[in-house]
Amino acid sequence: MDFYARAYELEQRSEPFAVATVVRARGSVPRRPGSKMIVRADGAVEGTIGGGEMESRVVQQALQALQDGESHVLQYAFSDPARGDPGVCGGEMEVFVEPVLPKPTVVAVGAGHVGRAVAHLARWSGFRVVVADDRPGFATPEAVPEADEHLQCPPAELPERLRIDAQTYLVLTTRGLPVDLEGLPPLLETPAAYIGVIGSRRRWETTAKGLLASGVPEESLARVVSPMGLELNAETPQEIALSILAEIIMLRRGGTGEAMAHRVIGRRHEGG
């Protein structure tokens, strides 16, 4: 296997994987420093760092790294299986496990004025961008050149047309309540990190009542953010997009949305 070519191929396909690399070895061990292995999200392994119980443990740690997004340095001794060691050959190894996650994706569902502004700002902010619209001529490279992918389909078909995972942020800049009533139930069954719906509080209250009446559970509706965005008194499509992306970034980074101003006027200073 050409390791780097394979890693590049997976990355280009936006497929998450982890790389396990032997970074230190002493004594009798299965493989030497520099040995690499790819672990895909389904547990499939490409390459090897030695096989056996040790490699099996590394695979489990790699899958954990794909879940938490954190790199790990793993240390193994090969002396005493009764003490929990993965072998008896007498050496020691360190393995560095690094998750390689695709860019987080913002999906603008509805490619009108606000959807196009969301796509533009999301691309500028470093997200992979997908636009979707069921109207001809809206979700096209000509209409939204900033998007990486363009889908002409109703929102309800998105789970079949697009990989939606915990790195996906669904931004429904849709044109009305009927679209939301039809499109939201399938989207609520996905593991998306964020499902936001544009509109007023009254529009969302009406939509929520309709979804509850159709059998959507309350706990599913609780995932929806509507109205979405931080309160900026935004008016233009660009300002609305800014408030939406600010909320998404706040959630991704664990922010609070509070002003960061540090007031020093009126404080008593000591010294010169």
Domain ranges of the chain: 11-100, 105-253
pLDDT digits (tens, 9 = 90+) for 40-65: 999 999 998 877 778 888 999 999 99
What pLDDT was estimated at residue 85? 46
Which pTM value belongs to this model? 0.77
Is the confidence at residue 271, as pLDDT, over 60? no
User: What does the pLDDT read at residue 128?
Assistant: 94
Across 75-84, 100-109, 115-124, 178-187, least confident range: 75-84
What HEC string does the chain produce? Answer: CCHHHHHHHHHHCCCCEEEEEEEEEECCCCCCCCCEEEEECCCCEEECCCCHHHHHHHHHHHHHHHHHCCCEEEEEECCCHHHCCCCCCCCEEEEEEEEECCCCEEEEECCCHHHHHHHHHHHHCCCEEEEECCCCCCCCCCCCCCCCEEECCCHHHHHHHCCCCCCEEEEECCCCHHHHHHHHHHHHCCCCCEEEECCCHHHHHHHHHHHHHCCCCHHHHCCEECCCCCCCCCCCHHHHHHHHHHHHHHHHHCCCCCCCCCCCCCCCCCCC
Give the model's pLDDT for residue 269.
56
CATH topology of domain 105-253: Rossmann fold (3.40.50)
pLDDT score at 41: 92
Q: Could you read off the pLDDT of 255-264 as tens digits, one per residue? A: 999 988 888 8
pLDDT in tens, 132-182: 999 999 999 999 999 999 999 999 999 999 989 889 999 999 988 889 899
**Residue range 25-46: average pLDDT?**
87
